[in-house]
Amino acid sequence: MAARIYSPAKTAMQSGKAKTGHWVLEFDPAAPRRIDPLMGYTSSTDMTSQVRLTFETREDATAYAEKHGIEYRVEEPQESKRRQISYSDNFRYDRKIPWTH
Side by side, the strands of the sheet bearing 2-6 are 52-55, 23-27, 2-6, 71-75
For the chain, the structural domain boundaries read: 2-8+19-76
For the CA atoms of the chain, what is the radius of gyration? 22
The predicted-structure confidence for 45-93, as pLDDT tens digits, reads as follows 888 888 999 999 999 999 999 999 999 999 998 887 777 878 887 777 7
Class of domain 2-8+19-76: alpha beta
Q: Which amino acid is at 12?
A: A
Q: Is the overall model pTM greater than 0.75, yes or no?
A: no
